[in-house]
């Protein structure tokens, strides 16, 4: 996954964004209860839905590798999704999530934390300054997308909640509502969907809580109203439509690891040297590209994250 952090002195948005797009962004912030907080830098790649894909900053150095990503078009980002709560086919979420209700929405924070509470999502978001980042969403099937997410560093949230010294993990849980989420009527996974990170992973500057994409509020099929993005891990580590966040001192049982521990580890780190039992992970194909490219260790972010796994056998603990 590629995340481009905006420079301290970015180009003024008035120079790169049309007036209509700018007003769309203002409307997004107003609806999310964030207008007035300011953006901590809006990436030059911001644009409205449906516009042609644009090229991200060229020559960005990620973990020592020169990567020149192009943004995946809005049409693909919003119609080719893994969100099993709405169906197992890539096209199912866009179709089955059309009437999914995301307001009102609450997020319960509990466990080993100084500020346990149930927060209205609008109140939950108010303390945080929004940033826009380019992130590559890489799924275990070896396809990937390059997406401009809008949200805030997960570390900001963790600090705000003040975890106790005994907390070692952060667990995220998706809404359980089979009436709205038809995929939950199938036993394909144990519901509700649960994912988790080690606390140091959650505090890494690359870990991100997202509320929007392409300068617009998250579409239902992309995990509205709140999801997390962890760029050096496979896409299955991303929890969508989050309703509960729990701090704990024991490693949580996560959805895919519970479903098939022989294929999906707790960590979900990209390791191209370890094949999935049913396919190689040495290559990947970006959506919209025909030719495959080499997969990179930790999705190209080894320089930023490898130290967290020092001394671990990354062929087994993946």
Question: Does the N-terminal peptide bond of residue 225 adopt cis geometry, omega within 30 degrees of 0?
Answer: yes
Contact of 174 with 183, CB cutoff 8 Å: no
The pLDDT of residue 113 is 98
Mean pLDDT calculated for residue range 287-296 = 90
The per-type count for the chain, helices as H runs and strands as E runs, is 9, 14
Of 11-15, 95-99, 203-207, which range is least confident? 11-15
Residue with tokens 């140091």: 200
Q: What is the arithmetic mean of pLDDT over 219-245? A: 96
Mean pLDDT over residues 150-157, rounded?
Answer: 96
Q: What is the mean pLDDT of the chain?
A: 82
- Return the pLDDT at 315: 83
Burial zone of 54 (CB within 10 Å; 0-12 exposed, 13-18 middle, 19+ buried): middle
Which stretches of the chain are DSSP H helices?
13-16, 19-31, 74-79, 92-96, 121-125, 154-161, 199-203, 255-259, 302-305
Per-residue pLDDT of 106-129, as tens digits, reads 999 999 999 999 999 999 999 999
DSSP state of 144: E
CATH superfamily of 13-309: Oxidoreductase, molybdopterin-binding domain (3.90.420.10)
Q: Which two tokens stand for residue 39?
A: 């953006």
Sequence-separated (6 or more) residues with CB below 8 Å from residue 232: 1, 206, 269, 270, 298, 299, 300, 301, 304, 305
Q: Which residue has the higher pLDDT, 16 or 192?
A: 192
- Phi, psi torsion values for 155, nearest 5 degrees: -60, -35
| pLDDT value of position 211 | 96
pLDDT level of residue 317 (50, 70, 90 thresholds): confident
Calculate mean pLDDT across residues 281-286: 91
pLDDT at 27: 54
pLDDT number for residue 30: 52
**Nearest-5° Cα angle at 252, 248 to 253:** 160
Which pLDDT value is given to residue 51? 34
| For range 175-183, the mean pLDDT | 98
What pLDDT is attached to residue 234?
93
Q: Span 219-225, mean pLDDT?
A: 98
Do the Cβ atoms of 238 and 247 come closer than 8 Å?
no
Instruction: Show me where the domains of the chain are located.
Output: 13-309
pLDDT in tens, 235-266: 999 999 999 999 999 999 999 999 999 899 99
Q: What is the pLDDT of residue 70?
A: 81
pLDDT band for 17, please (50, 70, 90 cuts): very low
Cα–Cα nearest to 196, from 261, 260, 142, 244: 244
Among 147, 136, 158, 153, residue whose Cα is nearest residue 234: 136
| pLDDT bracket for residue 18 (50, 70, 90) | very low
**Token pair 């239902």 in the structure block, residue:** 220
The arithmetic mean of pLDDT across residues 216-223, rounded, is 96
The token pair that represents 171 in the structure block: 């667990």
pLDDT tens readout for residues 71-108: 999 999 999 999 999 999 999 999 999 999 999 999 99
Least confident range of 5-14, 134-143, 168-177, 234-243: 5-14
Is pLDDT above 70 for 55?
A: no
- HSE at residue 170, side-chain half, CA atoms within 13 A, is 29
Q: Which of 239, 20, 247, 211 is nearest to 132 (CA)?
A: 211
């Amino acid at each position: 996954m590629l995340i481009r952090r905006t420079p301290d002195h970015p180009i003024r948005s008035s120079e790169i964004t049309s007036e209509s797009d700018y007003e769309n962004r203002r409307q997004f912030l107003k609806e999310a209860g964030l207008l007035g907080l300011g953006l901590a830098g809006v990436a030059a790649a911001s644009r409205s839905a449906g516009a042609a894909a644009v090229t991200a900053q060229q020559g960005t150095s990620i973990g020592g590798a020169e990567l020149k990503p192009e943004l995946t078009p809005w049409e693909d980002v919003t119609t080719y999704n893994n969100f099993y709560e709405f169906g197992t086919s890539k096209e199912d979420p866009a179709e089955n999530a059309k009437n999914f209700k995301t307001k009102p929405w609450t997020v319960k924070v509990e466990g080993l934390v100084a500020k346990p509470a149930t927060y209205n999502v609008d109140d939950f978001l108010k303390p945080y300054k929004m940033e826009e980042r380019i992130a590559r969403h890489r799924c275990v099937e070896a396809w990937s997308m390059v997406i401009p997410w809008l949200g805030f560093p997960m570390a900001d949230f963790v600090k705000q909640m003040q975890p106790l010294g005994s907390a070692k993990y952060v667990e995220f849980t998706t809404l359980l509502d089979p009436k709205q989420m038809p995929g939950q009527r199938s036993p394909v996974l144990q519901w509700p969907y649960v994912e988790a990170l080690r606390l140091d992973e959650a505090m890494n500057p690359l870990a991100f809580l997202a509320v929007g994409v392409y300068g617009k509020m998250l579409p239902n099929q992309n995990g509205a109203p709140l999801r997390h993005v962890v760029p050096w891990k496979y896409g299955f580590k991303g929890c969508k439509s989050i309703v509960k966040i729990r701090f704990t001192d024991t490693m949580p049982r996560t959805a895919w690891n519970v479903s098939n521990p022989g294929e999906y580890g707790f960590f979900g780190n990209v390791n191209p040297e370890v094949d999935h039992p049913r396919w190689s992970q040495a290559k990947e194909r970006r959506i919209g590209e025909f030719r495959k490219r080499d997969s990179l260790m930790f999705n190209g972010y080894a320089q930023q994250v490898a130290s967290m796994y020092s001394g671990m056998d990354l062929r087994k603990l993946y």
